[in-house]
Structure 1
């Protein structure tokens, strides 16, 4: 049985319920892994209970991540939104940083994650495991096959400075909005397209109001299981081990689901009538080159940037 230490005394935590919030659809690999691995392991190895809140039902990402920081929510599947408080948290999303899932998983649940995890703890949350949202692509209401096609393109991006800069560097007219606003904005033509991994595009149903996909893979979006640090620190050592093992099992399942689902989802999008375009080498290189000013600024601004980039490059070459 877990215990919480309060004023030097141990109180049984048999009735503790861990609320897990996310913006993902219920059948997205993120929620599937929490439901099939994290929840049953925790509930069978401790007295704690797990309740899952998908689809932004506890608020948008900013709201529920703040809830985890304050303790009103015990746990969340969070993106890198806290980079607004510490730019190191946004490093994994730097454009064209990772080449494939294996590299991203080994770096995030390895040297890159180890560099970033202390930044999370300073913000009042305990990082339990790094998971995959996936490589981001552009969906659109018309074909994008060149840099010129981004000109005048109304692109929805998350309300994060890095994302806005990436979209603007490509030449798009960037508009920021929350996840819950995306479908009606696409449907009504408020924006022409958006960027997200294929799984999010499909599971959220946005493909219903889009006609094209550009497999740009311009950014890799990770997620991280975050738990309120005070809640985690006050668990017994045994219950902490249960949380760690449950997180590890869910993490491994989620990465595999993302790998396995990518091609399947692409075929489903094609079957639904969407045209999927893979950029040619020249177009790809032009998109990469457009990101260079962003990298130049970051390397001048952050004294850790060169070291971290070299760490990723060395792993890529090895």
Structure 2
């Protein structure tokens, strides 16, 4: 009888372990098999998801099947912050995140400061240079996540149901921003009434008139189906930014040296794959939004830049502002 009780307890323990985020089992050759969960907010047609699937295939191939990554799009594992917390708890393993990490890592706020980057070329020089490395190190230390590769994002634009061309048009305008204090302060300074909301709540918020608008790159405007509830893309182009694909430090450090090397190689190849997709698809997303009936409205960007400047200086700490000035100085 004791034997049967022991076997029942053993079975229960195995079932419990199999429910965890990073699952382990033996492969056909007896090697340890690792199963990672990768959650992000974009839909299945988005560049991030397509690249994530490519990355998962590359990792599986380069580790001879030892690491299997299942990708969960459309916030299936929860919102961005939820997924980061799940990684810390060990029930998820990878996420796509950017300036939201400023809630843990102050330097991550510089990933999306309004009007900090002149264009995509300026952005790339910063990300792949010393400033980018400095930000990555702090994310690793303070968020507990290891950046693997990144996506350049299309510039963020403001959407609405009325044309917004100058800051004066923002009076009484209620809008969603991500959980980034700097965004709240900048849009308040511009005259809007910003509020924090998870991206998965934005469509309903617009549909029910809880908010009047939101700001995001054209790919996420399309991915979120916002063309169904918004008429205008106002070309503020207020933020050029990038976003990282990250794995939990503990999950990454638990790998063998060979598997760490394989994951890094896969990440480098996924980076190139994503860049090719980005170049091809961003213009297509703009056209798709136009085809869905959205109108692109020209904006006085200098006016928005000027009204946001004081809020940026006031919102950033001395250390952050120093890094901001270093970014502006990159040629």
Given the two structures, how large is their TM-score scaled by the length of structure 1? 0.89
Mapped partners of 1:13, 1:247: distance in 2: 22
Counterpart selection for 2:289 from 269, 284, 288: 269
Shift in alpha-carbon separation, 1:140–1:45, aligned structure 2, 3 A: same
2:109 aligned with 1:90: yes
**Aligned residue number for residue 251 of structure 1:** 271
Counterpart selection for 1:25 from 16, 21, 43: 43
**Aligned residue number for residue 314 of structure 2:** 297
Q: Quick check: 1:109–1:129 contact (8 Å CA) kept in 2?
A: no
Question: Aligned-pair distance for 1:14?
Answer: 3.0
2:62 aligned with 1:42: no
**Aligned residue number for residue 121 of structure 2:** 102
**Aligned residue number for residue 22 of structure 2:** none
RMSD: 1.8
Mapped partners of 2:82, 2:241: distance in 1: 19
1:8-61 alpha-carbon deviations (Å, 9 max, x no partner): xxxx7632012111011111101111112x111111111211100110000111
Mapped partners of 1:234, 1:67: distance in 2: 17
Q: Quick check: 2:185–2:311 contact (8 Å CA) kept in 1?
A: yes
**Aligned residue number for residue 242 of structure 2:** 222
Q: Quick check: 2:120–2:240 contact (8 Å CA) kept in 1?
A: no
Counterpart selection for 1:67 from 74, 83, 86: 86
**Aligned residue number for residue 285 of structure 1:** 302
SS at 2:289 equivalent: helix
**Aligned residue number for residue 329 of structure 2:** 314
1:47-89 alpha-carbon deviations (Å, 9 max, x no partner): 2111001100001111101122332211111122221122111
Counterpart selection for 2:73 from 54, 66, 86: 54
Mapped partners of 1:85, 1:151: distance in 2: 32
**Aligned residue number for residue 15 of structure 1:** 33
Unpaired stretches in structure 2, ≥5 consecutive residues: 1-29
Q: Quick check: 2:106–2:320 contact (8 Å CA) kept in 1?
A: no
**Aligned residue number for residue 222 of structure 2:** 202
Q: Quick check: 1:145–1:277 contact (8 Å CA) kept in 2?
A: yes
Count of residues in correspondence between the two structures = 300
1:129-179 alpha-carbon deviations (Å, 9 max, x no partner): 222233100111111122211111111111221111121121111122111
Q: Quick check: 1:96–1:218 contact (8 Å CA) kept in 2?
A: yes
Shift in alpha-carbon separation, 1:313–1:176, aligned structure 2, 3 A: closer
Mapped partners of 1:112, 1:64: distance in 2: 26
Mapped partners of 2:52, 2:274: distance in 1: 8
Given the two structures, how large is their TM-score scaled by the length of structure 2? 0.85
Q: Quick check: 1:136–1:220 contact (8 Å CA) kept in 2?
A: yes
Mapped partners of 1:302, 1:85: distance in 2: 17
Q: Quick check: 1:113–1:130 contact (8 Å CA) kept in 2?
A: no
Mapped partners of 1:255, 1:171: distance in 2: 35
- Larger-Rg structure: 2
Shift in alpha-carbon separation, 1:151–1:312, aligned structure 2, 3 A: same
